[in-house]
Chain A
């Protein structure tokens, strides 16, 4: 089993945002969903005695929470009080920055956890880029471009962070007492 078999980037679909409120509602949901999922993954890893991966997911939850705060600040500054309700349109099954539960492994290394984070940031970048391409409102395009640039910075930051971890060695998923003795 390999945690490198993460979900492919979905095909680019038309993602048009009609106004700033719609775009910021999506941005907020995207970051909140990502933060909540990282926190959940940290709990899962803690329960399965993988404190290193748990710590990394906890840190990612904190990072995403900062992004949530940043989006909330933008919403306040623009005095947007009536955001569209939770009918979000994503390119995949969940928000682009949300880690799929199925990509976890109880023995995964922090580097593998960070690889998932890297893919999430790349997907978020592509999401905002796609909005730039398919939206016509100049204000929406400008903000989507800013958000895409921020996500590009996050990609670079995660790549830098990845450099601190040694490559994952073969046999990382070896378990002397595995749950599945049939494999």
Chain B
């Protein structure tokens, strides 16, 4: 090895290299701390570089993640992280694009974008930290809240059937569907690595307890289990499994082989003058 090669050689990055200097201000005990740690570990394990990764988010506690990362980040509009991520990935297919957010941001405010992001199958990894509550706005019921969750804001519960994110992702065309638990850091890291590596739209629902507004969720660590079935590439079988489980089976539940959507640029489109000519009225 000559001197030049020695100078150019970069040491492997560590998880800490993917963290920014901004310290998280989530409530102590929040599952999102573990998710942040797992994402940085996964990016380091994949030997990516912060400048080649973009993390986008909407609004909510978990959507603060881009600020805590040294990767490129975009803390966007409520529920709109997926359209921004789609645009970014289509324009810059060389980047690894992650979307992070919560259940309210992703399934209510951004619900329609979720459906179409699954359908479009752009190569994005969407990580939803699901705590079944709007924590940042002080504990309102979210789309995934159980109908009988009794609280001051929803006395007697909402009485509304919860949104089923995994099966809806599957039905809408997501190419990778997994469920993780923030307390299972090793298992979650494996799933995020697999999700990033898998081509197309990958959706990872992470059960991430809100210890302030849903202290009952501390029990999740005793309720989760590894799914007793292997990953399938059959969407019908995956749907049946997801619809019949109790929401605590962890693992990669579906891994499809649908080719991801990507615009094929024509040479002349890359020339601004030609593009102007094409759209001239």
Residues on A lying within 8 angstroms of B by beta carbon are: 1, 5, 7-8, 40-41, 43-48, 88, 90, 93-94, 100-106, 108, 179-182
Given A102-B209, A180-B213, residue A47 in contact with residue B183 (CB < 8 A): no
Given A40-B37, A45-B28, residue A102 in contact with residue B211 (CB < 8 A): yes
Subset of 30 A-B contacts with CB under 8 Å: A1-B215, A7-B222, A8-B222, A40-B37, A44-B33, A45-B28, A46-B23, A47-B23, A47-B24, A48-B28, A93-B181, A93-B183, A93-B221, A94-B183, A100-B221, A101-B29, A101-B31, A101-B33, A102-B29, A102-B183, A102-B209, A102-B211, A103-B29, A104-B211, A108-B28, A179-B212, A180-B139, A180-B212, A181-B138, A182-B138
Contact assessment for A179 and B186 in the assembled complex, using a CB-CB cutoff below 8 Å = no
B12 contacts chain A at the CB level, 8 A cutoff: no
Q: How far is the CA of A153 from the CA of B224 in the complex (A)?
A: 33
> What residues of chain A lie closer than 8 Å to B212, measured between beta carbons?
179-180
B17 contacts chain A at the CB level, 8 A cutoff: no
Contact assessment for A101 and B23 in the assembled complex, using a CB-CB cutoff below 8 Å = no
Identify the closest chain A residue to B32 (Cβ).
A101
Pick the residue among B30, B33, B151, B185 that contacts A182 (CB under 8 A): B151
Contact assessment for B33 and A40 in the assembled complex, using a CB-CB cutoff below 8 Å = yes
Interface residues on B, range: 20 to 34
Residues on B lying within 8 angstroms of A by beta carbon are: 23-25, 27-31, 33-34, 37, 138-139, 151-153, 181-187, 209, 211-213, 215, 218, 221-222, 224
Shortest distance in angstroms between A5's beta carbon and chain B's nearest beta carbon?
A: 7
Contact assessment for B27 and A179 in the assembled complex, using a CB-CB cutoff below 8 Å = yes
Identify the closest chain B residue to A88 (Cβ).
B186
Identify the closest chain B residue to A106 (Cβ).
B28
Pick the residue among B34, B152, B222 that contacts A101 (CB under 8 A): B34
Contact assessment for B23 and A43 in the assembled complex, using a CB-CB cutoff below 8 Å = yes
Shortest distance in angstroms between B70's beta carbon and chain A's nearest beta carbon?
A: 16
7 closest Cβ pairs, A-B complex: A104-B28, A182-B152, A104-B29, A93-B184, A106-B28, A102-B218, A47-B23
Shortest distance in angstroms between B53's beta carbon and chain A's nearest beta carbon?
A: 21
Given A179-B27, A179-B212, residue A5 in contact with residue B186 (CB < 8 A): no
Contact assessment for B24 and A44 in the assembled complex, using a CB-CB cutoff below 8 Å = yes
Shortest distance in angstroms between A182's beta carbon and chain B's nearest beta carbon?
A: 4
Q: How far is the CA of A180 from the CA of B186 in the complex (A)?
A: 31
Contact assessment for B221 and A102 in the assembled complex, using a CB-CB cutoff below 8 Å = yes
Given A102-B183, A105-B28, residue A5 in contact with residue B218 (CB < 8 A): yes
> What residues of chain B lie closer than 8 Å to A40, measured between beta carbons?
33, 37
> What residues of chain A lie closer than 8 Å to B181, measured between beta carbons?
93
> What residues of chain B lie closer than 8 Å to A45, measured between beta carbons?
28
Shortest distance in angstroms between B142's beta carbon and chain A's nearest beta carbon?
A: 15
> What residues of chain A lie closer than 8 Å to B25, measured between beta carbons?
47-48
Q: How far is the CA of A154 from the CA of B78 in the complex (A)?
A: 48
Contact assessment for A94 and B211 in the assembled complex, using a CB-CB cutoff below 8 Å = no
Q: How far is the CA of A104 from the CA of B26 in the complex (A)?
A: 12
